[in-house]
Amino acid sequence: MSRVFKASNIVLGLLCLMYFITYVDRVNVGAAAGPIQKEMGLTNLELGLVFSAFAYPYLLFQVFGGWIGDRVGPRMTLFVCGMIWSIATILTGFVDGLYSLFIVRVLLGFGEGATFPTATRAMQYWTPAGNRGFAQGITHSFARLGGAVTPPIVAFLTLSFSWRGSFIILGLFSLLWVVAWVTYFRDEPSAHTGVTPEELATLPPRKDTTAVVVPWGALIKRMWPVTLTYFCYGWCLWLYLNWLPLFFKNSYNFNLKDSAIFASGVFFAGVVGDTVGGVVSDKIYHRTGNVRLARLSVIVTGFVGALLSLCPILFFQDITTVAICLSSGFFFAELIIGPIWSIPMDIAPKYSGTASGLMNSGSAFAAIVSPLVAGYVIDLTGNWYLPFLMLIGLLAVGACAAFMMHPERKFEEVGSDPVPVR
Give the pLDDT confidence score for residue 415 in this predicted structure.
45
Strand, helix or coil for residue 323: helix
Give the pLDDT confidence score for residue 148 in this predicted structure.
82
Give the pLDDT confidence score for residue 76 in this predicted structure.
93
* Least confident interval from 23-32, 214-223, 348-357: 348-357
**Region 260-288: what's the mean pLDDT?**
86
Q: Is 314 exposed, middle or buried (0-12, 13-18, 19+ CB in 10 A)?
A: exposed
Amino acid identity of residue 339, one-letter, is P
Query: Residue 209: inside a domain, yes or no?
Result: no
Give the pLDDT confidence score for residue 306 in this predicted structure.
96
Q: Which of residues 90 and 360 earns the better pLDDT score?
A: 90
Query: Residue 107: inside a domain, yes or no?
Result: yes
Element (H, E) at 382: none
CA-to-CA distance for 135 and 222, rounded, in angstroms?
A: 23
Query: Residue 206: inside a domain, yes or no?
Result: no
Give the pLDDT confidence score for residue 208 in this predicted structure.
53
Strand, helix or coil for residue 348: coil
* pLDDT tens column, 46-66: 988 998 888 888 888 777 777
**pLDDT above 80 (res 100):** yes
Q: Which of residues 328 and 32 earns the better pLDDT score?
A: 328
Give the pLDDT confidence score for residue 213 in this predicted structure.
75
**pLDDT above 70 (res 380):** yes
Query: Residue 208: inside a domain, yes or no?
Result: no
* Least confident interval from 153-167, 201-215, 356-370: 201-215
Strand, helix or coil for residue 269: helix
Q: Do the beta carbons of residue 277 and residue 298 sit within 8 Å?
A: yes
**pLDDT above 70 (res 2):** no
* Least confident interval from 191-205, 234-248, 304-318: 191-205
Q: Quote the domain boundaries for residue 406.
A: 7-198+215-413
**pLDDT above 50 (res 252):** yes
Query: Residue 18: inside a domain, yes or no?
Result: yes
* 419 strand-pairing partners: 410
**74 backbone dihedrals φ, ψ, rounded to 5°:** -65, -30
Percent of the chain residues topping a pLDDT of 90: 38
User: Model confidence at 207, in pLDDT bands (50, 70, 90)?
Assistant: low
**pLDDT above 80 (res 303):** yes
CATH code, 97: 1.20.1250.20
Query: Residue 349: inside a domain, yes or no?
Result: yes
Query: Residue 244: inside a domain, yes or no?
Result: yes
* Least confident interval from 132-136, 167-171, 334-338: 132-136
**pLDDT above 70 (res 1):** no
Element (H, E) at 393: helix 386-401
**214 backbone dihedrals φ, ψ, rounded to 5°:** -70, 125
**Number of structural domains in the chain:** 1
Give the pLDDT confidence score for residue 206 in this predicted structure.
62
Give the pLDDT confidence score for residue 177 in this predicted structure.
96
**209 backbone dihedrals φ, ψ, rounded to 5°:** -115, 10
The overall average pLDDT reported for the chain is 86
Give the pLDDT confidence score for residue 288 in this predicted structure.
92
Give the pLDDT confidence score for residue 418 in this predicted structure.
47
**Region 99-112: what's the mean pLDDT?**
92
**Region 262-285: what's the mean pLDDT?**
86
User: Model confidence at 420, in pLDDT bands (50, 70, 90)?
Assistant: very low
User: Model confidence at 416, in pLDDT bands (50, 70, 90)?
Assistant: very low
Give the pLDDT confidence score for residue 204 in this predicted structure.
72
Give the pLDDT confidence score for residue 295 in this predicted structure.
94
pTM: 0.76
**pLDDT above 80 (res 158):** yes
* pLDDT tens column, 61-79: 777 777 777 788 899 999 9
User: Model confidence at 83, in pLDDT bands (50, 70, 90)?
Assistant: very high
**Region 276-286: what's the mean pLDDT?**
89
Give the pLDDT confidence score for residue 59 in this predicted structure.
82
Give the pLDDT confidence score for residue 169 in this predicted structure.
95
CA-to-CA distance for 241 and 249, rounded, in angstroms?
A: 14
Query: Residue 31: inside a domain, yes or no?
Result: yes
